Structure 1
Amino acid sequence: MASGQVEFDEGQLGAALSHYERALALREALLGPESLAVAEVLTSMSNVHIMRDEAEKAREHLGRALAVREKLLGPEHPLVALTRRGLGFTWFIEHKAQQAEQEMRRALEIDERALGPKHLRLASDLDALATVLRQQGRAREAIPLYDRALSISESSVGADAPVVGSTLINRAGAFAECGEYARAIEDYQRTLALHEKTLGPEHPDLAMPLSGMGEAQLLLNQPARARASLERALRLEEKSESRCLYGEIGYHLGEALWRLGERRRARELILQLRQTATRKEPYQEEHESAEALDAWLAAHPL
């Protein structure tokens, strides 16, 4: 189990799964198939499958873990809530929001009864439920949940805790989806300041709040500010191993440059993105697809 966790933390998912599968076989042989130790391994295995976008396999393991935990601990135990939240996430990544919301709400209800209304675990439950609501286009309903999550986190672990930054950036996204771009920028700025303090000014994780802030500044017709945010975001994202935000940042930077009259540089940047663009993938922003980039280039001739 420990070796699997190390491999998982280092992104070696195949090796992690091999360790977990061996641990599962050993624990089943020693303790039987219905033990809490077996449920623990199943949960760890589900995390690997989630990282691989294998939601159905993850849900299979979590369903088995849930049955064991409900039988041995009862349906109102916090470990049951944690398992239900994991199940909700498997539905979320498949864009099955109704099932996801059902599991997330059940997890929140269990934790609130078991742990009390101000326990730190509730902040994660509230954040997860709010994000599911946003997937359904219900950002306005999500904002009060983020507000409550922030209040719990800040009172429990302080305003500089990583969990605070995570909820802030999620609330910023909800504000942006509601058209409240100035409020979104405030949350992105708070997140940026927190990350700079805890991670340093050159950490790749700063690219996310900078990217969101740049997009919101564009929507407020502030291209000069957007360019500054997005250029810094792009430079930091280049240091990231995944570079998963690179296309999104580049697209918005191209638009900012165009509006500022730097048209040749804007087209060069969009052309560079187009060289590696493919058809739209499940987690790809719409404007990053080959079709969207072609449309941008056609609409912005020199």
Structure 2
Amino acid sequence: MFTFFGVACAADRQVSNRHAKGRTDECDGSSTGSPVRRQDRCAPLHCSAPCLSQIRASRWGLAVSGDHTMRRAMLLVGLIAALAIGSGGKASAQQQDIATLTRQIEQMVTEGRVTEALPIARRAIDLMERERGPNDLELANAMNALALLHMQLGQYADAEPLYKRALSIREKVLGNEHTAVGATLHSLAALYVYQGHYMDAEALYQRALGIKEKALGPDHSQVATTLHNLAVLLAMQGRYGEAEPIYMRALAIKEKTLGPEHTDVGSSLYAVAELYVRQGRFLEAEPLYKRTLAIKENALGLNHSEVGTTLYGLAALYVYLGRYEEAEPLYRRTLAIKETLLGPEHSEVGSTLHNLAVLLALQGRTSEAEQLYRRVIAIKENALSPDHTEVGSALYGLAELYGQQGRHAEAEPLYQRALAIKEKTLGPDHTEVGTTLFGLAALYAAQG
């Protein structure tokens, strides 16, 4: 995990103190920094999320055109399905069925039964198609809304054909240059980013950008949204030089159209800060994180999840700069926000605790670090599984801590369990397996 890309899987991004002095490659976590002595090493800073592409995209603030919460997306499906009912005269049996399904969808969403509502929404859309025909714009809207919901649930294979069908209908009815076509291209591109299909995503973003610039003008806020996502995509591929001017153009448009204190401006500032960190431009990143934090706190409140994300990024930056006393209160505040919003046993709470444990270990506060590592292991085992890679990372961290204290007999089984987990989940040739083997070898060397 590269800490500045936030909540990432242990299998994807790992940064330890030995990496802090060098640059870390995005793909494999390898470092170009010099080797350091065992006592200078600490366990990796850590985070967690469902998949690498989604981690990177969400951390940068990838935006989906027409984004809604799951509840709003499902209500939108219901609303659009209801439009299939005729405005006058007696409704057909098919129209009545659609209305009944719509009410069921809305009720399930209200009760939080979103997954159960999905097949009913599918059925409503099928009835819509029979009632209105295969090239109806409202049908395209319903498909787009359902695709968005599948995407938010991580059901990418279900979302893709819906987006493609909605795109086909809109192109046929509205023409290839309509803004609704651009919006669908934008959403489908975001889906491809989450799936790791970067070349396909870039082509769609470029096409969406051309449509929006032509139809809305070069300084429209929707143009800025597509520019931002294109910059995210380039940055994720390590194309930082190409990404920066695009980020800056998006930021300038947002400041002009939305005002300098808008949350979207904060999101762009945060993304540029992340970009600078990737390039080792730490001192340039700090004021951007701070301005982001001020905007988010003012607009969203002190305990919003986006405030927690920004605090987390700034804390990690301070760890890299060796400013540990400044990092600790930020991690603790992040922890409090996550515990309040997610509960004390959530996996993301465990990830923040992991990074706090790393920080305490760096300061030589081994007793406090040990307690946190034990809590991290318990949370991750319960929230994920005993054989999850993130459990392996926490075990490795505690093993490193014990090794630094000379508690070799306690460290060895932790290294061995971490190694077994990493080999099973990541494969024998993964860099994290190599890191764990190195730690275990260093332990044996220290024992003579």
Normalised to the residue count of structure 2, the TM-score between the two structures is 0.63
The answer to whether the Cα contact below 8 Å between 1:224 and 1:260 also exists between their aligned partners in 2 is: no
1:29 aligns with 2:172: yes
Please name the residue that 2:287 is paired with. 144
The answer to whether the Cα contact below 8 Å between 2:393 and 2:418 also exists between their aligned partners in 1 is: no
The DSSP-based 3-state class of the residue aligned with 2:344 is: coil
The DSSP-based 3-state class of the residue aligned with 2:180 is: helix
Higher helix share: 1
1:123 aligns with 2:266: yes
Instruction: Give structure 1 stretches of 5+ with no counterpart.
Output: 282-287
Please name the residue that 1:52 is paired with. 195
Residues 86, 245 of structure 1: CA spacing in aligned structure 2 closer, same or farther, 3 A cutoff?
Answer: farther
Q: How far off its partner does 1:245 sit?
A: 3.9
Q: Could you tell me which amino acid in structure 1 is paired with residue 186 of structure 2?
A: T
Q: How far off its partner does 1:249 sit?
A: 2.9
Measured in 2, the distance between the counterparts of 1:220 and 1:280 equals: 32
Please name the residue that 1:212 is paired with. 355
Q: How far off its partner does 1:14 sit?
A: 0.9
Q: Could you tell me which amino acid in structure 2 is paired with residue 255 of structure 1?
A: E
The answer to whether the Cα contact below 8 Å between 2:398 and 2:411 also exists between their aligned partners in 1 is: yes
1:70 aligns with 2:223: no
Q: How far off its partner does 1:162 sit?
A: 1.0
Q: How far off its partner does 1:8 sit?
A: 1.1
1:271 aligns with 2:442: no
The answer to whether the Cα contact below 8 Å between 1:55 and 1:93 also exists between their aligned partners in 2 is: no
Fraction of identical pairs, as percent:
31
1:90 aligns with 2:233: yes
Residues 61, 240 of structure 1: CA spacing in aligned structure 2 closer, same or farther, 3 A cutoff?
Answer: farther
Residues 10, 104 of structure 1: CA spacing in aligned structure 2 closer, same or farther, 3 A cutoff?
Answer: same
Q: How does 1:220-299 map to 2 (within 5 A)?
A: 220-238=363-381, 239-240=383-384, 245-275=390-420, 276-277=422-423, 278=427, 289-299=432-442
Q: How far off its partner does 1:169 sit?
A: 0.5
CA displacement 1:3-50 (0-9 Å, x = unmatched):
111211221111111111111111111111111111111121122211
Measured in 2, the distance between the counterparts of 1:279 and 1:126 equals: 39
Bigger relative CO (Cα 8 Å, ≥ 6 apart): 2
CA displacement 1:62-89 (0-9 Å, x = unmatched):
1111111111111111111111110111
Please name the residue that 2:151 is paired with. 8
RMSD: 2.0
Aligned residues: 296
Please name the residue that 1:284 is paired with. none
CA displacement 1:142-187 (0-9 Å, x = unmatched):
1110100110111111101111011111111111111112222221
Q: How does 1:101-112 map to 2 (within 5 A)?
A: 101-112=244-255
Q: How does 1:189-208 map to 2 (within 5 A)?
A: 189-208=332-351
Measured in 2, the distance between the counterparts of 1:39 and 1:264 equals: 61
Please name the residue that 2:306 is paired with. 163
Measured in 1, the distance between the counterparts of 2:407 and 2:330 equals: 29
Measured in 2, the distance between the counterparts of 1:148 and 1:243 equals: 36
Residues 124, 247 of structure 1: CA spacing in aligned structure 2 closer, same or farther, 3 A cutoff?
Answer: farther
The answer to whether the Cα contact below 8 Å between 2:189 and 2:200 also exists between their aligned partners in 1 is: yes
Which of structures 1 and 2 has the bigger CA Rg?
2
Instruction: Give structure 2 stretches of 5+ with no counterpart.
Output: 1-143
The DSSP-based 3-state class of the residue aligned with 2:271 is: helix
Measured in 1, the distance between the counterparts of 2:409 and 2:180 equals: 60
Measured in 1, the distance between the counterparts of 2:372 and 2:270 equals: 26
Q: How far off its partner does 1:220 sit?
A: 1.3
Which has the higher mean CA deviation after the structures are superposed, 60-69 or 244-253? Answer: 244-253
Measured in 2, the distance between the counterparts of 1:73 and 1:269 equals: 58
Residues 264, 46 of structure 1: CA spacing in aligned structure 2 closer, same or farther, 3 A cutoff?
Answer: farther
Q: How far off its partner does 1:279 sit?
A: 6.5
Q: Could you tell me which amino acid in structure 1 is paired with residue 198 of structure 2?
A: A
The answer to whether the Cα contact below 8 Å between 2:392 and 2:417 also exists between their aligned partners in 1 is: no
Please name the residue that 1:154 is paired with. 297
Measured in 1, the distance between the counterparts of 2:277 and 2:429 equals: 21
- 1:188 pairs with 331, 339, 355, which one? 331
